[in-house]
Structure 1
């Protein structure tokens, strides 16, 4: 049974944001009960996703936020942070912050990444004779031509792929001209907003940027797949936790974020979702390492991007993506 330090019960109710499906099921069954037991807190869940949480915050305004904290991808969090919806962390209320890997310490103390899903190159081991080693293999391995999957530009992984391509072949991650020139060379590609597994399962694609956790689930289902850490580094999906300005249950929100960052909760999340623990003190157990291969020193292989720049250039990125892939 997990045990956390006893904390005083809070008078205010904390609204906890999470996503639907398996996320909501785990939050209701395991994570929220553990938090309430450790704090005596009263909580309720608000189910949505980054865009809906963003719309709700903007509709309510900065002075009366409906949430005390929110969990969302950094591409959304960075936009709201710039608009003044979040406060900079009081680090005295987040003692586990100091234990985070640098990639999880967002914006010099403005937020914390509580969950990281690293993305490498996943491929079908039965349909590929020469496994990939590098992102550049997407362009050079003839086995991949016409059988590549990409997350589209709506997904943050699509935006990261654009910046990665500029970094690999151009003057840097903001070199959109070179990025789209090179991405055009990959066409035709099969795109998805979220679910790459259907395309990989049917063999319509044989290689794609892939979440190591999803590869682990496909392996458990018996699909012949694997995922590598490319030579140039990893992409990631992040879940950033921020404190709202004028938060109605501010102290309890800080306790929740620190609970998320604790070694015990990080191990819970790793076992449930095969995410990489963001807390450096967590040692991934041997029985979990095949499913969670990115930990320890490998966390330094995750590439960081300027999401403020992405949001400022999102319209151009989307238009050029659509022109490139029709």
Structure 2
């Protein structure tokens, strides 16, 4: 038995709807793929410009994805990851190694997937199962080469120069809240029989031998640069990238890695745990480790490559930690221990060192 149709649509309408349905089937996956978004958290400034101009576009094109850059310093990113836990929005987080170790300890990062590029990395880039270094600078010492010559002082080569009494009133020291200052404290501890797990020798040296000669505890690199340029300070712990920035102004800053070792300061990346795009997040981190991106970072912002296959032009290589010999001399500090005690050390520093 046939039932009559109620309000049948005209043939033209039915054909149009059918066509739209077919188009939806054909175009649906393409639209969904084009609408995929990857949220990447990293620092702003020149780093953000580099990502937007030269790193992000190629990945977006290759994977048909839209990348949203979430700018903020490492502490900001760590706070966002904590706040978003359970309803993650950020897919990939890029932070300094200190905060990254905290993120790892808090379970905010997923396991880094194995990939061929991982075999090309220096050992120190493997921070742990859930994070990987994607670039590095290093803490060493910077000094005014012309001022040293005028004073008849020999070129320094050791962390012990921080205790040289001939620098009294001309010494700069970042506070413990600045990574360069923290690295200096750890190295003084190591030089005097201690280390991260026994920081007392470092505090003893900093309090009794270094602090009396310090002119300024400049809290930011910019302030230290100003003191250097004014001639008030002639030597201070410096980061390799910051040293290059000051050298670019024409200032006669000489930067060196002490013979006991410079301290590696890595920029690290992790796939945020339980995020909506785990596979794409892994692919983005692998992309950051590619020789092409590693070379871009070195040239644009002075990040030394963690991929040992990268070839840099001599003028770029001279400005960053580069090559197996130099990287092998860098020291990776024990961030797990440091993060456990940092608040206590900061209080002790404020009480006994900067008085």
TM value normalised by structure 1: 0.90
1:4 aligned partner? none
2:306 is the counterpart of 1:306: no
- 1:1-326 to structure 2, matched below 5 A, reads 12-61=36-85, 63-91=86-114, 94-107=115-128, 109-128=129-148, 129-140=153-164, 142-184=165-207, 185-187=209-211, 188-189=213-214, 190-195=216-221, 196-292=224-320, 294-323=322-351, 324-326=353-355
Question: In structure 2, what is the Cα distance between the partners aligned to 1:193 and 1:34?
Answer: 38
Distance 1:306 1:292, change over 3 A: closer
Distance 1:174 1:125, change over 3 A: same
Question: In structure 1, what is the Cα distance between the partners aligned to 2:50 and 2:217?
Answer: 29
Aligned length: 313
Unaligned segments of structure 1, at least 5 residues: 1-8
> Per-residue CA shift, 1:169-194, capped at 9, x if unaligned?
13333322211110012114222333
Question: In structure 2, what is the Cα distance between the partners aligned to 1:199 and 1:244?
Answer: 40
Question: In structure 1, what is the Cα distance between the partners aligned to 2:120 and 2:200?
Answer: 39
Unaligned segments of structure 2, at least 5 residues: 1-32
Shifted more, 150-159 versus 270-279: the winner is: 150-159
> Per-residue CA shift, 1:4-45, capped at 9, x if unaligned?
xxxxx6752101112122122222222222322333221111
Shift of 1:146: 2.5
Indicate conservation of the 8 Å contact 2:176/2:349, yes or no.
yes
> Per-residue CA shift, 1:171-229, capped at 9, x if unaligned?
33332221111001211422233313222222221111222233223223211111112
Question: In structure 1, what is the Cα distance between the partners aligned to 2:94 and 2:83?
Answer: 18
More helix, by proportion: 2
Shift of 1:262: 0.5
TM value normalised by structure 2: 0.83
Question: In structure 2, what is the Cα distance between the partners aligned to 1:78 and 1:39?
Answer: 29
Distance 1:35 1:299, change over 3 A: same
Q: CA RMSD in A?
A: 1.8
Indicate conservation of the 8 Å contact 1:163/1:174, yes or no.
no
Indicate conservation of the 8 Å contact 1:118/1:211, yes or no.
yes
Q: Greater CA radius of gyration, 1 or 2?
A: 2
Question: In structure 1, what is the Cα distance between the partners aligned to 2:187 and 2:110?
Answer: 30
Distance 1:293 1:166, change over 3 A: closer
Question: In structure 2, what is the Cα distance between the partners aligned to 1:310 and 1:104?
Answer: 18
SS in structure 1 opposite 2:137? strand
